[in-house]
Amino acid sequence: MFRRTWLVALVAALSIVALVAAGRWLNAGKIGGQQPAEPFRIAGNFYYVGASDVAAFLITGPEGHVVLDGGYPSTARLIMASIAKLGFDIRDVKVLINSEPHPDHGGGLTVLQQASGARLWASDWSAGSLASGGDDPDAILPLRVLIWLGVLGYPPARVDHRFKDGDTVRVGPLALTAHVTAGHTRGCTSWSFPVRDGDRVLNVVSVCDPGVLASSRYPGQDADRARSLRVLLSLPADIWVTNHARAWGRYRKFVASRTAKNPVDPFVDPGGYRAFLDAAEAELREGRVH
């Protein structure tokens, strides 16, 4: 009887080890349904270098470049390929910034960091999650356990600098202002910065996802979301983007730019920005979660 119990326990233990190993192997190659996307200039020194939906952006400058968001670990190579296709060198990227630390936006930062040698800036809350490989203290316990086991999550990133709400990250003449728009996560960060198109200066806002996940809830979250929407509504936005390309019409605007007299004009969309935030406000009122 003892021997049989021991064998059952051994088989169970080996099964768990095998499942964890298989989960880690699958996670290492996870791309979340992402496909390569043609990189392109949005306006001035502002470029799209992300995948089909998980967005990433390049802001170039004479003293070094900035990359916003890193995709999954396995799609970071798509970002690097896009940067190269546009004629830039990943080693000239001096700063990495992030919207939020879930695997589809923070997972590839370590890969980009290793390839570029860039410094990573993050909000106080996001810094801890990025440095732990995606562990979110507000996530439900089963998800956290899978991250601890290596089935989910990503290689921990080295956070070089932490910023506060309203701080500005500078690389030479580049100046990007951080707005901690909590709600999706506590450290969710939206960014605002100017770009020049000919003789006009356009205000860009990169919005951190204003929605909420059923798997990641915390006290005061709805109040955070309401405050964040007020902040976002106060920002002047000629061009707006988010960390998911479908939300801001990446492909539609890209196609329109190919035939436009000024290829920047299809991306100038303050009305779309307001409509996006109005929809997020309605979602908050109705208590919808993803």
Provide the token pair at 282.
């309605």
Say yes or no to pLDDT of 12 above 50.
no
Of 10-19, 44-53, 263-272, least confident by mean pLDDT is 10-19
Say yes or no to pLDDT of 30 above 70.
no
Please report the pLDDT score of residue 17 as a whole number: 31
Please report the pLDDT score of residue 32 as a whole number: 62
Say yes or no to pLDDT of 2 above 70.
no
Please report the pLDDT score of residue 256 as a whole number: 98
Residue 10 DSSP SS3: helix
- Under the banding of pLDDT at 50, 70 and 90, the label for residue 33 is confident
Say yes or no to pLDDT of 16 above 60.
no
- The amino acid at residue 110 is T
Say yes or no to pLDDT of 230 above 60.
yes
pLDDT mean across residues, the chain: 90
Q: Residue 270: phi, psi to the nearest 5?
A: -65, -30
Q: For 112-169, what is each residue's pLDDT tens digit?
A: 999 999 999 999 999 999 999 999 999 999 999 999 998 889 999 999 999 999 999 9
Say yes or no to pLDDT of 188 above 70.
yes
Of 2-11, 45-54, 109-118, 180-189, least confident by mean pLDDT is 2-11
Compare 289 and 94 and report the one with higher pLDDT: 94
Please report the pLDDT score of residue 59 as a whole number: 98
Alpha-carbon distance of 17 to 19, in angstroms, equals 5
- Under the banding of pLDDT at 50, 70 and 90, the label for residue 1 is low
Alpha-carbon distance of 266 to 254, in angstroms, equals 8
Partners of residue 241 on adjacent β-strands: 206
Say yes or no to pLDDT of 24 above 90.
no
Q: What angle do CA 247, 98, 68 make, to 5 degrees?
A: 70
**H/E segment holding residue 4:** helix 2-28
Q: Which residue has the tokens 């060198």?
A: 89
Mean pLDDT for the stretch of residues 33-52: 95
Q: For 236-275, what is each residue's pLDDT tens digit?
A: 999 999 999 999 999 999 999 999 999 999 999 999 999 9
Alpha-carbon distance of 244 to 250, in angstroms, equals 9
Please report the pLDDT score of residue 285 as a whole number: 93
Please report the pLDDT score of residue 290 as a whole number: 78
Alpha-carbon distance of 57 to 99, in angstroms, equals 11
Alpha-carbon distance of 180 to 187, in angstroms, equals 6
Residue 83 DSSP SS3: helix
Specify whether the CB–CB gap between 9 and 132 falls below 8 A. Answer: no
Say yes or no to pLDDT of 15 above 60.
no
Compare 29 and 58 and report the one with higher pLDDT: 58
Please report the pLDDT score of residue 150 as a whole number: 87
Q: For 100-109, what is each residue's pLDDT tens digit?
A: 999 999 999 9
Which long-range contacts link 138-145 to residues 24+ away (Cβ below 8 Å)? 138/185, 138/186, 138/216, 138/217, 138/218, 139/215, 139/216, 140/215, 140/216, 143/215
Say yes or no to pLDDT of 85 above 90.
yes
Closest to 250 in 3D by CA, of 31, 30, 41, 32: 41
Partners of residue 121 on adjacent β-strands: 161
Specify whether the CB–CB gap between 66 and 97 falls below 8 A. Answer: yes
Please report the pLDDT score of residue 4 as a whole number: 53
What residue ranges define each of the domains in the chain, with the CATH number in brackets?
Answer: 37-128+160-286 (3.60.15.10)
Please report the pLDDT score of residue 7 as a whole number: 44
Specify whether the CB–CB gap between 164 and 125 falls below 8 A. Answer: no
Helices 76-85 + 109-116 axis angle, to 10: 50
